[in-house]
Amino acid sequence: MRRSRFLINTLKETPKEAVVVSHILMLRTCMIKQLASGIYTYMPLALRSLRKIENIIREELDAAGCQELLMPMVQPAELWSESGRWQAYGKELLRFEDRKDNGYCLGPTHEEVITDIARREIRSYRELPVNLYQIQSKFRDEIRPRFGLMRGREFIMKDAYSFDTDEQSCDESYWQMYEAYKRIFTRCGLTFRPVEADSGNIGGSYTHEFHVLAGSGEDEILSCSHCDYAANVERAELKTFEPAAMPDSVPTPEEVSTPAQKTIEAVAGFLGVKPEQCVKTLVYRAGDRIAAAALMGHRELNETTLRNEMGAAEIELVTDAATFQANGLAPGFMGPLDWPKDIPIYVDDEVMAQSSVVTAANKVDTHVKNVVPVAHFNPTKVLTLRAARAGDGCPRCGEGVYESYRGIEVGQVFKLGIKYSESMKAFYLDAEGNERPMVMGCYGIGVSRTMAAAIEQNHDKDGIIWPVQIAPFHVALLNLDIKDEEVVAACEAIESGLALHGVEVLVDDTANRPGPKFKDADLIGMPVQVKVGARSLKQGQVELKVRKTGERRSVALAEAVDEILADLKNLGWNSAPGQV
């Protein structure tokens, strides 16, 4: 492909509206153009990468026995009423009426449509399992679209739906998809983790999210250094501590004056102990109610756990003097010892495992030493309140420790169960002739989001560093002397030589000077760059550069094609589709 015939206008400056790196780089490389808030045109460069991601998905899902179909984007209200979601789904569901005043919506997801197909087409257990998928533009009317393709309104998604006779068979379908997803993201050249996740609004028995790891990711993930276990930080399990044994002789707590020492670090320093020996106590509000959480001084609270324990939709740290005063609490000097009986206090199991701690005395400028939690504390409940973090031991295998990553969710596998098949009457006849609801799973991949996540994970200050498998082109071939016939001939020879191997080349045949061509090639980020200039060509040489490593070398023109192929293979490229 000649760049002079390919629509890429690169930008030197960072566009004002973009804050995340994938958005910035996609705008700077002319990959996307905003049409309206959260609605983008995929320009030719972006579409080439999207198609590669889509094809990897197709090959892997077809190999896993899935069947591709294509459902409509415009869906009738009646169907959504059957599942109850016409009412239940929020404003993200864009509803409208056609010229005959019938209600419709733009599909944000397709459980209703696919369940309708299944109930019409599938009669017998002999026809199950079935797994159907599509790749399609979806629409969700996000209240605050942002970050370019990371949270758009119109976006490309792969959605798959499995139908099985029973729970066990559904689990098999689920894990097949789980494995297919691992192959898909591996083949995309991405570093990722499948993590256990909450089932969210859609309902269902269990679910994994697939996260592409990137420093800019919205979510923190903890992953075991030894086994496969990984989870969102809010959900990551922890080893629980057994309570300490009750000492034969319980020491008497000793009050000490700690004037104006309100933080754990200050108190520990003042008393010459470590934060790991101090207990900290936080007060949270849920509506009118308040409750306290106590944990060791070096840990953070897992707010999700406390929120669930308080049975609240939202909780908030109490910081206002009026609330403390109204409840007789001394901010900065609160502790489980002599805690007011009318305020619940939840204590982390790690606290109860200590033989002796320092805690605040519920009196201004006062702490207490020689406190034995099992003897002196009277918790409302003991549970694991602390947030998991890097370095904590993995409770699953008992061998590894957690490592922390930031992730971008690009896929999710979901065991739906019979939520839709019951409400929409998607029944089959089992071997005994009984009607049973099909057991469903659903499986999404954000295709456009995966492309954005690939850029979040693979870039440097100069631009994108495309994973070779999903790069729009494999090679950027820079013609540095477009009026020199020998240079033009050499470029054509390399391009056609590579084409024989299925290598896609973007030839920079513009009138730009070499400097801007180099900068553009780094910005656009094709895996291998080839520079062909008159001077080095006189010595029969062209220069190769691997974008990822920055490594450069001169090679003989006659060997350029082989050398480029070798570089691409080193980067993980395989010309044969279907082979990982």
Least distance between its own copies and beta carbon 266 (Å): 48
Task: Tell me whether residue 5 or residue 483 sits nearer to its own copies (CB atom).
Answer: 5
CB nearer to its own copies: pick between 151 and 285: 151
The span from the CA of 281 to the CA of 362, in Å, is: 10
Q: Which residue has the tokens 């050249």?
A: 189
Residues in the chain, total = 580
- Nearest distance from C-beta of residue 113 to its own copies, angstroms: 6
Residue ranges binding its own copies (CB under 8 A): 5-7, 9, 30, 33, 35-36, 39-44, 47, 50, 65, 67-76, 79, 91, 94, 96-99, 102, 104, 106, 113, 116-117, 120-121, 130, 132, 136-137, 139, 141, 143, 153-154
Residue of 114, 84, 61, 54 whose CA lies nearest to 449: 54
Question: 485-512: b or e for each residue (b if 16 or more CB lie within 10 Å)?
Answer: eebbebbeebbebbeeeebbbbbbbbeb
Please, what is the minimum distance in Å from the beta carbon of residue 96 to its own copies?
3
Q: Could you tell me the smallest distance in angstroms from the CB atom of residue 377 to its own copies?
A: 50
What's the min distance (Å) between Cβ of 55 and its own copies?
11
Token digits of residue 265:
């670090």
Of 39 and 317, nearer to its own copies (C-beta) is: 39
Min dist CB 9 to its own copies, Å, is 6
Closer by beta carbon to its own copies, 27 or else 233: 27
Distance between start and end Cα atoms, the chain? 26
Burial 302-312 (b: 16+ CB within 10 A, else e): bbebbbebbeb
Q: 75: helix, coil or strand? A: strand
Contact, 110 vs 71, CB < 8 A?
yes
Q: From the CB of residue 38, how many other CB atoms can be counted at a distance below 10 Å?
A: 21
- In the complex with its own copies, the residue whose CB is nearer, 66 or 560, is 66
Question: Quick one: 69 or 266, whose CB is closer to its own copies?
Answer: 69
Residue 482 DSSP one-character state: T
Cβ at position 261, least distance to its own copies in Å: 50
- Residue 106: both structure tokens together: 């733009």
Given the complex with its own copies, which of 31 and 290 has the nearer CB atom?
Answer: 31
In the bound state with its own copies, the residue whose beta carbon lies nearer, of 54 and 303, is 54
Which residue's entry shows tokens 């705008």?
27
Beta bridge partners of 34: 40
- Alpha helices for 384-484 (secondary structure H): 419-423, 447-457
At closest approach, how far in Å is the CB of 228 from its own copies? 30
Shortest gap between Cβ of 244 and its own copies (angstroms)? 55
- Collect all residues with Cβ–Cβ distance below 8 Å to 79 and sequence separation of at least 6: 112, 113, 116
Both structure tokens of 359 = 């805690």
Question: Among residues 209 and 495, whose Cβ is nearest to its own copies?
Answer: 495
Contact 147, 23 (CB under 8 A): yes
To the nearest whole angstrom, how small is the minimum distance from the Cβ of residue 218 to its own copies? 22
Nearer to its own copies, 143 or 260 (CB): 143
Question: By C-alpha distance, which of 170, 216, 229 is closest to 395?
Answer: 229
